[in-house]
Structure 1
Amino acid sequence: MRDFFTDLLKLQWLSAILALIGLGDSVYLLWTKLSITTIVCGLGDCEAVQASPYSSLLGIPVAALGAGGYGALLALAVWAIFAKDNAPGWLTDVRLIFAGIGLFFAVYLTGIELFVIYQICGWCVLQAVAITGIFLGLLIERKVERQVE
């Protein structure tokens, strides 16, 4: 039983760390968008991506949506970590749904970058890696939880 809780805690911490990375990334991109500051970008042309009409959805910067999503995922991961075995049974499922929506959106936006804008943004790649890691970690976490039930 100890191994179960140890493995689960490691997965929850992984999710929290990746959500924190995604949140920091989103906040940086939002700050550069709102302050009209040049983005430091080591991969691709982040400026072209940020200046495209796809960088906002219904007038809301995509980075703000990312910050909200990662903030929610971070809060839910911290709840799961500190609640330990007292966490509600649905908590992992809710986190998985949030991460699934984020992953879908990341895949969509990556497709826009590659096939419409013809530019890639290193910060966007980091986002895609973070949300993919969160989603896969949550799938494993859910499987580990189900094995004990």
Structure 2
Amino acid sequence: MTIGRSATAVKGPARRETPSWLAPTALLWCVLGLGVAAYLTYEHYTGGTTLACPESDTVNCAKVTSSQWSSLLGIPVALLGMVFFAVMLVLCLPSMLSRASRRLDAARLASCLVGLVMAVYLIWAELFQIHAICLWCTAVHLLTFLLFVTLLFGYVLADVSTDHQPSG
């Protein structure tokens, strides 16, 4: 008999013991990313007149958020970021993270990787096409990277088990 498990453990669907920090940390990055992306989306649809960002040759949020690179196939990238973080928020709920499903894991990591690739693309556009940096956009890029790293480390440290404690 192992310590920490009941001798009458019941076989059930595979569950994952995730590190205790995984869900709160992933949710924090998602909520912060959703908030920043929502702010950028609001600014996009209101013309960016209240965009809180310094204007210089190097840092210029208005230049970045109003450039041709601020939309993809006619959809504002800020709105795409908001959708990305909303989906990731659902995928990173504790009940979703604890499921030992290879498909769900793959979907979560693939979604996050798509977000990361998009962030790298947008950083490239800022540096080499627009020649200006948006600090709010940089925050979204950083939060996307942090979310990816958090999930990756969480998977590496997760323990998958088919036994679980009976409820009650």
**Structure of greater Rg:** 2
Q: 1:53 aligns with which of 48, 68, 81?
A: 68
The structure in which a higher percent of residues are helix is 1
The reply to whether residue 37 of structure 1 matches residue 44 of structure 2 is no
Alignment match of 2:31 (pick from 4, 20, 42): 20
Work out which of the residue numbers 2, 6, 11 in structure 1 matches 2:22. 11
If asked which structure has higher relative contact order (CA below 8 Å, sep 6+), I would say 2
* 1:135 matched to 2:148: yes
Instruction: Output the amino acid matched with 1:133.
Output: L
1:38-91 CA-to-partner distances (Å, cap 9, x unmatched) read 21115810000011000001110001110001100001111xx13564x24233
Match of 1:62 in 2: 77
Deviations 1:106-141 (A, max 9, x none): 011001001110000001110111010010111111
Alpha-carbon offset, residue 23 of structure 1: 0.7
Superposition RMSD in Å: 2.1
Could you give the per-residue CA deviations for residues 7-53 of structure 1, whole angstroms, max 9, x where no partner exists? 62311221111011111111100101101132111581000001100
More strand by share: 2
Q: Which residue of structure 2 aligns with residue 111 of structure 1?
A: 124
* TM-score normalised by L of structure 1: 0.86
1:111–1:83 CA distance, 2 compared to 1 (3 A): closer
- Tell me the secondary structure at the aligned position of residue 15 of structure 1: helix
2-structure distance, mates of 1:72, 1:29: 17
Distance 1:100 1:23 in 2: 17
Give the alignment's TM-score, normalised by structure 2.
0.77
Q: 1:139 to 1:47 in 2, by over 3 A?
A: same
Single out whichever of 105-114 and 34-43 deviates more from structure 2.
34-43
Contact 2:37-2:79 at 8 Å conserved across structures = yes
Structure 1 pair 74–84 and aligned structure 2 pair: CA distance change class (3 A):
closer
**What SS is found at the alignment partner of 1:132?**
helix
Quote the Cα distance in structure 2 between the aligned partners of 1:84 and 1:26. Answer: 23
The DSSP-based 3-state class of the residue aligned with 2:92 is helix
TM-superposed CA distance for 1:148, in Å, is 4.6
Q: Which runs of 5+ in 2 are unaligned?
A: 5-15, 162-168
